[in-house]
Amino acid sequence: MPKILIIEDEPELVKVLRSYLEKSRFDVLTAYRGDTGLSTWENERPDLVLLDLNLPGLDGLDVAREIRRKSDTPIIMLTARVEETDQLIGLELGADDYVTKPFSPRVVAAKVRAVLRRSEAAPTPARILRVADLEIDLDAHTVTRAGETLDLTPTEFALLATMAASPGRAFSRMRLLEAAQGAAFEGYERTIDAHIKNLRAKLEADPKNPQYIETVFGVGYRFVRQ
């Protein structure tokens, strides 16, 4: 059963929604404050959140922002008519839909079903970059060329992933140095050259005549645009 979290401070409303959603075969969790709602979300990871805007503890918009910062959990905002501007802000913050009070629980349940259907149908964005016979898996941190796994160091991987994500864009050595910081890079700008040299030796059929990573004179390097 899909788990729905209701964060709403009007007990009467919570009661009505809960009973209708439970009858519609949802598993229902409730919170009456923004801050406790957020920690319930953290602990329970519900499939969808019904979120009131004006809440004690932590404002509904802040709750939405915090959830969106960490996950794609669908959010439906529960708003009063006077809060029209806030509805728009809520949607900008990544809420999936909203219902205006007063509402019938039947309408809320229908929206819940629609949003859940939509979020299940949405494909997870590809985190794999493919260029010619090169395949860079950003999640698995693996690189293959023509199906063969290449053995890259974390720094080399960070450099390659940064450049390959924006083919055709020139990266300064300073920018590449920043990108490599995540891979615990130590050293000066010029040592990027050494990493690029090693990267090319592994990546390129002919490192002297690179087909993937080009030198941009006076700037740095770029991953070729196909």
* Interacting residue with Ca ion among 6, 28, 49, 52 (CB under 5 A): 52
Looking at residue 166, its amino acid is S
Alpha helices in 122-182 (DSSP H): 154-164, 173-181
Q: Kindly state the number of chain residues that form the binding site for Ca ion, as judged by CB under 5 A.
A: 3
By CB under 5 A, which span of 9-17, 81-89, 106-114, 132-140 interacts with Ca ion?
Answer: 9-17
By CB under 5 A, which span of 47-55, 67-75, 167-175, 194-202 interacts with Ca ion?
Answer: 47-55
Q: How many CA atoms lie within 13 A of 145 on its CB side?
A: 12
By CB under 5 A, which span of 52-60, 95-103, 160-168, 209-217 interacts with Ca ion?
Answer: 52-60
Pairing relationship of beta strands 3-7 and 48-52 according to DSSP bridges = parallel
Asked whether position 54 contacts Ca ion by CB under 5 A, the answer is: yes
SS3 assignment, position 190: coil
By CB under 5 A, which span of 2-10, 81-89, 153-161, 212-220 interacts with Ca ion?
Answer: 2-10
Looking at residue 205, its amino acid is A
User: With respect to Ca ion, which residue has the nearer C-beta, 31 or 160?
Assistant: 31
Asked whether position 9 contacts Ca ion by CB under 5 A, the answer is: yes
Q: 89, exposed or middle or buried, with CB in 10 Å at 0-12, 13-18, 19+?
A: middle
Contacts of 177 (CB under 8 A, 6+ apart): 185, 189, 192
> Cβ 112 to Ca ion, closest distance in Å?
19
> Cβ 53 to Ca ion, closest distance in Å?
7
User: With respect to Ca ion, which residue has the nearer C-beta, 51 or 143?
Assistant: 51
